[in-house]
A = this chain, B = another copy of it.
Amino acid sequence: MPHSEALLLPLSIIGLIAASMTAALVAGRRSMDWVGVALLGSITALGGGSTRDTLLGNYPLAWVQQPYLLAVTTAAALATIALAPVIHRFRNLFFLLDAIGLVVFTIQGCDIALKTNQHLAIVIVAGMISGCVGGVLRDVLCNDVPLLFRAELYASVSIVTGLIYVMGQRLDISPDLVTLVALGIGLTFRLLAIRFRWEMPKFVYDRE
Protein backbone atom coordinates (compact mmCIF):
# COMPACT_ATOMS: atom_id res chain seq x y z
CA MET A 1 0.00 0.00 0.00
CA PRO A 2 1.55 3.34 -1.04
CA HIS A 3 1.70 6.04 1.62
CA SER A 4 -1.00 8.10 -0.04
CA GLU A 5 -3.48 5.22 0.21
CA ALA A 6 -2.57 4.71 3.85
CA LEU A 7 -3.57 8.34 4.30
CA LEU A 8 -6.69 8.26 2.11
CA LEU A 9 -8.27 5.12 3.56
CA PRO A 10 -8.83 6.42 7.12
CA LEU A 11 -9.85 9.83 5.76
CA SER A 12 -12.37 8.21 3.43
CA ILE A 13 -13.87 6.29 6.36
CA ILE A 14 -14.20 9.63 8.17
CA GLY A 15 -15.88 11.00 5.05
CA LEU A 16 -18.32 8.08 4.89
CA ILE A 17 -19.23 8.57 8.56
CA ALA A 18 -19.71 12.32 8.13
CA ALA A 19 -21.87 11.87 5.01
CA SER A 20 -24.02 9.23 6.69
CA MET A 21 -24.49 11.31 9.86
CA THR A 22 -25.44 14.51 8.04
CA ALA A 23 -27.92 12.51 5.94
CA ALA A 24 -29.32 10.97 9.14
CA LEU A 25 -30.00 14.46 10.49
CA VAL A 26 -31.81 15.33 7.26
CA ALA A 27 -33.84 12.12 7.70
CA GLY A 28 -34.65 13.17 11.26
CA ARG A 29 -35.98 16.52 10.06
CA ARG A 30 -38.45 14.54 7.94
CA SER A 31 -39.32 12.18 10.81
CA MET A 32 -38.17 9.10 8.94
CA ASP A 33 -38.11 5.81 10.80
CA TRP A 34 -34.91 4.07 11.86
CA VAL A 35 -34.76 1.96 8.74
CA GLY A 36 -35.14 5.09 6.64
CA VAL A 37 -32.35 6.79 8.61
CA ALA A 38 -29.98 3.86 8.02
CA LEU A 39 -30.90 3.63 4.33
CA LEU A 40 -30.63 7.35 3.64
CA GLY A 41 -27.30 7.51 5.48
CA SER A 42 -25.85 4.56 3.57
CA ILE A 43 -27.14 5.69 0.17
CA THR A 44 -25.77 9.20 0.71
CA ALA A 45 -22.37 7.96 1.88
CA LEU A 46 -21.89 5.24 -0.74
CA GLY A 47 -24.01 6.62 -3.59
CA GLY A 48 -21.34 8.82 -5.17
CA GLY A 49 -18.80 6.03 -5.56
CA SER A 50 -21.49 3.58 -6.65
CA THR A 51 -22.74 5.95 -9.35
CA ARG A 52 -19.19 6.55 -10.58
CA ASP A 53 -18.43 2.84 -10.81
CA THR A 54 -21.76 1.99 -12.42
CA LEU A 55 -21.25 4.67 -15.08
CA LEU A 56 -17.67 3.55 -15.73
CA GLY A 57 -18.62 -0.15 -15.67
CA ASN A 58 -16.07 -0.59 -12.89
CA TYR A 59 -17.30 -3.72 -11.07
CA PRO A 60 -17.54 -4.90 -8.33
CA LEU A 61 -18.63 -1.77 -6.45
CA ALA A 62 -16.61 -0.88 -3.34
CA TRP A 63 -19.29 -1.91 -0.81
CA VAL A 64 -19.95 -5.18 -2.64
CA GLN A 65 -16.26 -6.01 -2.38
CA GLN A 66 -15.94 -4.71 1.19
CA PRO A 67 -19.28 -5.13 2.92
CA TYR A 68 -17.90 -3.70 6.18
CA LEU A 69 -18.46 -0.29 4.55
CA LEU A 70 -22.21 -0.91 4.86
CA ALA A 71 -21.74 -1.63 8.56
CA VAL A 72 -19.83 1.65 8.97
CA THR A 73 -22.47 3.79 7.24
CA THR A 74 -25.39 2.03 8.97
CA ALA A 75 -23.76 2.36 12.39
CA ALA A 76 -22.97 6.03 11.78
CA ALA A 77 -26.57 6.76 10.79
CA LEU A 78 -28.04 4.93 13.78
CA ALA A 79 -25.53 6.48 16.21
CA THR A 80 -26.79 9.86 15.02
CA ILE A 81 -30.19 9.04 16.53
CA ALA A 82 -28.59 8.47 19.93
CA LEU A 83 -26.35 11.53 19.61
CA ALA A 84 -29.15 13.82 18.39
CA PRO A 85 -29.61 15.73 21.67
CA VAL A 86 -25.99 16.93 21.70
CA ILE A 87 -25.06 16.89 18.03
CA HIS A 88 -25.78 20.56 17.36
CA ARG A 89 -22.76 21.46 19.53
CA PHE A 90 -20.52 19.82 16.94
CA ARG A 91 -21.85 21.76 13.97
CA ASN A 92 -18.46 23.10 12.96
CA LEU A 93 -16.85 19.70 13.33
CA PHE A 94 -19.44 18.35 10.89
CA PHE A 95 -18.61 21.00 8.31
CA LEU A 96 -14.97 19.98 8.62
CA LEU A 97 -15.64 16.24 8.36
CA ASP A 98 -18.04 16.72 5.46
CA ALA A 99 -15.40 18.82 3.66
CA ILE A 100 -12.83 16.07 4.26
CA GLY A 101 -15.30 13.60 2.72
CA LEU A 102 -15.87 15.78 -0.35
CA VAL A 103 -12.15 16.20 -1.03
CA VAL A 104 -11.13 12.62 -0.24
CA PHE A 105 -13.96 11.07 -2.29
CA THR A 106 -12.96 13.35 -5.18
CA ILE A 107 -9.32 12.21 -5.05
CA GLN A 108 -10.35 8.56 -4.81
CA GLY A 109 -12.67 9.00 -7.79
CA CYS A 110 -9.90 10.57 -9.86
CA ASP A 111 -7.57 7.76 -8.83
CA ILE A 112 -9.93 5.04 -10.01
CA ALA A 113 -10.45 6.77 -13.36
CA LEU A 114 -6.69 7.29 -13.76
CA LYS A 115 -6.07 3.60 -13.13
CA THR A 116 -8.44 2.69 -15.95
CA ASN A 117 -6.69 5.18 -18.27
CA GLN A 118 -9.59 7.52 -18.82
CA HIS A 119 -9.32 10.85 -20.62
CA LEU A 120 -8.39 13.67 -18.23
CA ALA A 121 -11.82 15.27 -18.52
CA ILE A 122 -13.38 11.97 -17.45
CA VAL A 123 -10.94 11.75 -14.52
CA ILE A 124 -12.16 15.14 -13.27
CA VAL A 125 -15.80 14.15 -13.83
CA ALA A 126 -15.25 10.82 -12.03
CA GLY A 127 -13.86 12.77 -9.06
CA MET A 128 -16.83 15.12 -9.09
CA ILE A 129 -19.36 12.29 -9.27
CA SER A 130 -17.67 10.53 -6.34
CA GLY A 131 -17.67 13.70 -4.24
CA CYS A 132 -21.06 15.15 -5.10
CA VAL A 133 -23.64 12.58 -6.22
CA GLY A 134 -24.27 11.16 -2.74
CA GLY A 135 -25.72 14.48 -1.66
CA VAL A 136 -27.81 14.68 -4.83
CA LEU A 137 -29.33 11.25 -4.09
CA ARG A 138 -30.03 12.36 -0.50
CA ASP A 139 -31.83 15.50 -1.67
CA VAL A 140 -33.83 13.69 -4.38
CA LEU A 141 -34.94 11.02 -1.89
CA CYS A 142 -35.98 13.80 0.52
CA ASN A 143 -37.94 15.53 -2.21
CA ASP A 144 -35.68 18.60 -2.39
CA VAL A 145 -34.06 20.23 -5.39
CA PRO A 146 -30.41 19.19 -4.91
CA LEU A 147 -28.41 21.74 -2.93
CA LEU A 148 -25.57 21.04 -5.37
CA PHE A 149 -27.49 22.81 -8.14
CA ARG A 150 -28.60 25.76 -6.07
CA ALA A 151 -25.97 27.01 -3.74
CA GLU A 152 -22.55 26.76 -2.17
CA LEU A 153 -19.23 25.96 -3.73
CA TYR A 154 -19.35 22.21 -3.65
CA ALA A 155 -18.94 20.94 -7.21
CA SER A 156 -16.41 23.72 -7.80
CA VAL A 157 -14.29 22.52 -4.86
CA SER A 158 -14.43 19.04 -6.32
CA ILE A 159 -13.34 20.24 -9.76
CA VAL A 160 -10.45 22.31 -8.39
CA THR A 161 -9.28 19.42 -6.19
CA GLY A 162 -9.45 17.06 -9.16
CA LEU A 163 -7.54 19.45 -11.42
CA ILE A 164 -4.72 19.86 -8.92
CA TYR A 165 -4.52 16.13 -8.35
CA VAL A 166 -4.49 15.30 -12.05
CA MET A 167 -1.96 18.02 -12.92
CA GLY A 168 0.29 16.84 -10.09
CA GLN A 169 0.18 13.23 -11.28
CA ARG A 170 1.21 14.41 -14.74
CA LEU A 171 4.16 16.39 -13.41
CA ASP A 172 5.91 13.33 -12.07
CA ILE A 173 5.87 14.63 -8.50
CA SER A 174 5.68 12.04 -5.70
CA PRO A 175 2.06 10.77 -5.54
CA ASP A 176 2.04 11.24 -1.76
CA LEU A 177 2.96 14.90 -2.08
CA VAL A 178 0.34 15.46 -4.81
CA THR A 179 -2.32 13.84 -2.65
CA LEU A 180 -1.39 16.02 0.33
CA VAL A 181 -1.37 19.22 -1.73
CA ALA A 182 -4.71 18.47 -3.43
CA LEU A 183 -6.18 17.55 -0.04
CA GLY A 184 -4.88 20.73 1.59
CA ILE A 185 -5.97 23.12 -1.13
CA GLY A 186 -9.36 21.45 -1.65
CA LEU A 187 -10.09 21.47 2.08
CA THR A 188 -8.98 25.08 2.51
CA PHE A 189 -11.07 26.16 -0.48
CA ARG A 190 -14.16 24.42 0.87
CA LEU A 191 -13.79 25.80 4.41
CA LEU A 192 -13.17 29.34 3.14
CA ALA A 193 -16.26 29.01 0.91
CA ILE A 194 -18.35 28.03 3.94
CA ARG A 195 -16.82 30.70 6.20
CA PHE A 196 -17.28 33.57 3.75
CA ARG A 197 -20.44 32.22 2.13
CA TRP A 198 -18.91 32.26 -1.32
CA GLU A 199 -21.45 31.40 -3.99
CA MET A 200 -21.54 30.94 -7.72
CA PRO A 201 -23.60 33.51 -9.61
CA LYS A 202 -27.15 32.36 -10.17
CA PHE A 203 -29.11 32.15 -13.41
CA VAL A 204 -32.54 33.64 -12.90
CA TYR A 205 -34.97 33.20 -15.78
CA ASP A 206 -38.58 34.12 -15.18
CA ARG A 207 -40.17 34.44 -18.59
CA GLU A 208 -43.30 32.47 -19.51
Contact B39 A155, beta carbon cutoff 8 Å: yes
**Number of interface residues, chain A, beta carbon within 8 A:** 61
Of A104-112, A116-124, A173-181, A185-193, the one with at least 4 CB within 8 A of chain B: A116-124
Whole-angstrom distance between the Cβ of A118 and the nearest chain B Cβ: 7
Contact B30 A145, beta carbon cutoff 8 Å: yes
Number of copies: 3
Q: Mark A80-100, 1 if CB is under 8 A from B, else 0.
A: 110010001000000000000
**Shortest Cβ distance from A81 into B: residue:** B203
**Shortest Cβ distance from A57 into B: residue:** B59
Whole-angstrom distance between the Cβ of A170 and the nearest chain B Cβ: 16
A207 contact set on B, CB distance < 8 A: 88
Bound CA–CA A63/B119 (angstroms): 10
- Whether, in the assembled complex, A125 has its beta carbon less than 8 Å from a beta carbon of chain B, the answer is yes
Contact of A64 among B25, B122, B201 (CB under 8 A): B122
Bound CA–CA A204/B84 (angstroms): 9
A146 contact set on B, CB distance < 8 A: 36, 141
A71 contact set on B, CB distance < 8 A: 121
Main SS of the interface on chain A?
helix
Whole-angstrom distance between the Cβ of A10 and the nearest chain B Cβ: 22
Contact of A70 among B37, B61, B121, B143 (CB under 8 A): B121
Tell me which residues from 34 to 87 in chain A have a Cβ below 8 Å from any Cβ of chain B.
Answer: 34-37, 39-40, 50, 54-57, 59-61, 63-64, 67, 70-71, 80-81, 84
Contact A150 B33, beta carbon cutoff 8 Å: yes
Contact of A143 among B28, B119, B145 (CB under 8 A): B145
Bound CA–CA A208/B89 (angstroms): 12
Contact A31 B67, beta carbon cutoff 8 Å: no
Whole-angstrom distance between the Cβ of A128 and the nearest chain B Cβ: 9
A206 contact set on B, CB distance < 8 A: 28-29
